[in-house]
Amino acid sequence: MERLQKVLAQAGIASRRKSEEMISSGRVQVNGTVVKELGVKVDPAADEILVDGKPIKNEQTLYLLLHKPKGVITSAKDTKGRKVVADYLPGIKERVYPVGRLDYDTEGLLILTNDGEFAYVMTHPRYHVPRTYRATVKGTPHGKVLEQLAKGVKLDDGMTSPAIVDYHDVNPEKNETVISITIYEGRNRQVRRMFEAVKYPVIRLKRVQFGPLHLGALPRGKFRHLTPGEVEELRKAAMEAEQTSARPADSQSVQKKN
């Protein structure tokens, strides 16, 4: 027996949070009865479960890694006719949705899946799955600026949690610096806002790692299927982070890389 919202999420109907909203609004029936209470347990093999009058189907579970290009919406569709991540998934007939978001101007690692429970674990704040970015900024921030970013900076929605920050590359001719930053939160445009707060605006931003998963050499605009081992590593990383509340306790050391 499983909770109804978990069954809906695993069937690819929606994320667990969205499934809960669907239940509360009376859109779900179990064995002919509308269920509005959360936490009801069902047997997906024996119970008839309908959403908006249609029976749910257990789709093949997919876990994809896309190298999202800049200028693409992290959505399945867009009313303004702009490019969306679904446009870069040829041959994928199942309905998949992004795990978290990358803003329009940010490229890099994006996970997509039809496993709502997996998406919930990967993005819920209680699990603190780390995300690593390469931020190209104007100018060369001195060490104290990076220490400030590592300790946390004040944004309009509160202080950021401690981060891991390092120099990655410096280009004196262009007056640009590439900074590697790992955060443990998923606020809207967080990395860009953090650098704006310390007066070093981001020119380019790329996510290169999500938990133990690396973007690697995957070309821009291409995708691949995650291996079962990679999916298990992601789940394990999230569970370990929850159990240990794994976050940097203090500001991290900042070292210039040659």
CATH classification at residue 26: 3.10.290.10
Q: pLDDT, tens digit, for every residue of 25-54?
A: 999 999 999 999 998 999 887 899 999 999
Angle between helices 116-123 and 16-24 (to 10 degrees): 110
Structure tokens at 113: 């899946």
**Separation between Cα atoms, residue 135 and residue 146, nearest integer Å:** 12
Looking at the 3D structure of the chain, how many domains does it have?
Answer: 2
Say yes or no: 50 and 65 in one domain. no
Which structural domain range is residue 126 located in? 59-258
List residues with catalytic annotation.
103
Q: pLDDT, tens digit, for every residue of 66-119?
A: 999 999 999 878 888 889 999 999 999 888 889 988 999 999 999 999 888 888
Using DSSP bridges, classify how beta strands 131-138 and 202-210 pair: parallel, antiparallel or unpaired. Answer: antiparallel
**Separation between Cα atoms, residue 100 and residue 227, nearest integer Å:** 20
Averaged pLDDT, 5-25 = 86
Please report where in the chains the tokens 């179990």 appear, as a residue.
30
| pLDDT bracket for residue 257 (50, 70, 90) | very low
Say yes or no: 113 and 223 in one domain. yes
**Separation between Cα atoms, residue 164 and residue 160, nearest integer Å:** 12
Say yes or no: 27 and 151 in one domain. no
* Residue 69 confidence (pLDDT): 97
Strand residue runs (E) in the chain: 2-3, 28-30, 33-34, 41-42, 49-51, 54-55, 63-68, 97-98, 107-113, 131-138, 154-155, 158-159, 164-171, 176-183, 202-210, 213-214, 223-225
Using DSSP bridges, classify how beta strands 176-183 and 131-138 pair: parallel, antiparallel or unpaired. Answer: antiparallel
Say yes or no: 17 and 95 in one domain. no
Angle between helices 228-244 and 116-123 (to 10 degrees): 40
**Separation between Cα atoms, residue 125 and residue 110, nearest integer Å:** 18
| pLDDT bracket for residue 244 (50, 70, 90) | low
Neighbours of 253 (CB within 10 A): 12
Q: Is the pLDDT of residue 255 over 60?
A: no
Half-sphere exposure (CA, 13 Å, Cβ side) for 42? 23
Say yes or no: 51 and 158 in one domain. no
Say yes or no: 79 and 195 in one domain. yes
Mean pLDDT, the chain, as a whole number?
A: 89
**Separation between Cα atoms, residue 102 and residue 47, nearest integer Å:** 38
- 51 phi, psi to nearest 5 deg: -120, 120
**Separation between Cα atoms, residue 133 and residue 129, nearest integer Å:** 13
Say yes or no: 43 and 74 in one domain. no
Say yes or no: 28 and 98 in one domain. no
Neighbours of 42 (CB within 10 A): 20
Say yes or no: 169 and 150 in one domain. yes
Q: pLDDT, tens digit, for every residue of 172-200?
A: 999 999 999 999 988 889 999 999 999 99
Say yes or no: 12 and 116 in one domain. no
Q: Which of 49-63, 119-133, 213-227 has the highest mean pLDDT?
A: 213-227
DSSP single-letter state for residue 85: G
pTM of the model: 0.77
* Residue 208 confidence (pLDDT): 98
Integer angstrom CA distances of residue 176 from 136, 144, 204: 7, 17, 10
Q: What is the dihedral of CA 133, 161, 192, 219, to 10 degrees?
A: 20
Say yes or no: 141 and 237 in one domain. yes
Say yes or no: 44 and 144 in one domain. no
